[in-house]
Amino acid sequence: MSSAPVIAAVDGSEDSRRALEWAVDAAHRRAAPLRVVHVRQYAAWGQADVLVAGPPDTQGDPVLDEVRALLRDRADAETVEYVALEGVPGAVLPELGVDAQLLVLGSRGRGGFASLLLGSNSLAAARDAECPVVVVPRPDREVHGEGPAEPGPRVVVGLHVDSPDDDSLGLAFAEAALREARVEVIAAYPWPVQTWSAPGQLVPPPIDRAAVENETRTLAEGFLAPHRERHPDVRADVAALPGDAAGHLVAASKDADLVVVGRHRRRLLAPARMMGSVTQAVLLHAASPIAVVPPEPTGEAHASLR
């Protein structure tokens, strides 16, 4: 396993305590060190670009003291590092992902409006961090629809067959292997397909839905092949479903261990980091923890991130 840490961002809220428990378990499964970070926000107007003020100081931090007390009796407590930083959390948190395996945080923190489904700091981390970000939602999120077809641990991952995200598939299979879980692949295809014709022209023949579903499934199986080979003990099932990908992923999150989604790939005319609408919807509504996976930076894209 990599020696890079699993980072838990805490702020003393119930949400961050749930995220801490998830991060402790994730670090244990990976045999990785755990780093607990508290970003102490200052009220310096116009200084959002200042990330850290002075060296880390964990003394006299009541939030970290509380976490120490919670983790004191854990068998692997000696592998936990505690870090206090000062700055704007929405700017500091994404930077933590530079040398981390995972960055884990709750869906809401102490600040902001209690009615919001997702806090601004969680959104900023999921959008901007260079490592996968796991957002642990509140347990009262309700997902309508039937539960899984069969019991047992599941890792759900979304797959767009027109632009597959190999990094998301890789994380889903790796996480399933760690959890002895199966992978449920949601490959949604648009339906009904919109067809347009100019006035006076013949309407094109109807599209065979069964053919579209079979093609979607065939393409998905092809993208899964290298991951099946890499993880032969992980079972992966493909669900080729019509319509809204976000809705299917949210429905599948019921009783799932994790839902994995890709963030968004950079486009030529939109070089800034961004998240797609499906990823945002899953972050807002999924009942299970959500892992948002950034694209692997290469070449000039990697240089621009720096």
180-228 tens-digit pLDDT: 999 999 999 987 665 555 665 656 556 788 899 999 999 999 999 999 9
CA atoms within 13 A on the CB side of 170: 8
> In the chain, which ranges are E strands?
6-10, 34-40, 80-86, 102-106, 133-136, 154-158, 182-189, 236-242, 258-262, 290-293
Tokens at 139, concatenated: 């347990």
Considering the domain 154-305, what is its CATH architecture? 3-Layer(aba) Sandwich (3.40)
> Which pLDDT score, from 0 to 100, does residue 144 have?
76
Which DSSP category does 9 fall into? E
Tokens at 57, concatenated: 């100081």
Q: Is 158 helix (H, G, I), strand (E, B) or coil?
A: strand
- Whether 6-136 shares its CATH topology with 154-305 is answered yes
C-alpha to C-alpha distance for 279 and 141, rounded to whole angstroms: 17
What pTM value is reported for the model? 0.83
> Which pLDDT score, from 0 to 100, does residue 276 have?
80
Is it the case that residue 254 has pLDDT exceeding 60? yes
Handedness of CA 236, 262, 151, 187 (dihedral sign): negative
| Mean pLDDT over the full length of the chain | 83
132-184 tens-digit pLDDT: 999 999 888 888 766 667 889 999 999 999 888 999 999 999 999 999 999 99
Mean pLDDT in residue range 57-65: 77
Q: 269: pLDDT confidence band, cut at 50, 70 and 90?
A: very low
C-alpha to C-alpha distance for 115 and 230, rounded to whole angstroms: 43
Strands across the sheet containing 236-242 = 80-86, 34-40, 6-10, 102-106, 133-136, 290-293, 258-262, 154-158, 182-189, 236-242
Is it the case that residue 298 has pLDDT exceeding 80? no
- Residue predicted with more confidence, 115 or 263: 263
Is it the case that residue 113 has pLDDT exceeding 70? no
> Which pLDDT score, from 0 to 100, does residue 42 have?
65
C-alpha to C-alpha distance for 52 and 39, rounded to whole angstroms: 9
Is it the case that residue 101 has pLDDT exceeding 50? yes
Going from the C-alpha of 153 to that of each of 92, 149, 234, 236, 240, the distances in angstroms are: 33, 12, 12, 12, 20
> Which pLDDT score, from 0 to 100, does residue 119 have?
74
Q: What is the topology classification, in CATH, of domain 6-136?
A: Rossmann fold (3.40.50)
> Which pLDDT score, from 0 to 100, does residue 117 have?
52
**Where do the domains of the chain lie?**
6-136, 154-305
> Which pLDDT score, from 0 to 100, does residue 194 have?
57
Mean pLDDT in residue range 6-30: 94
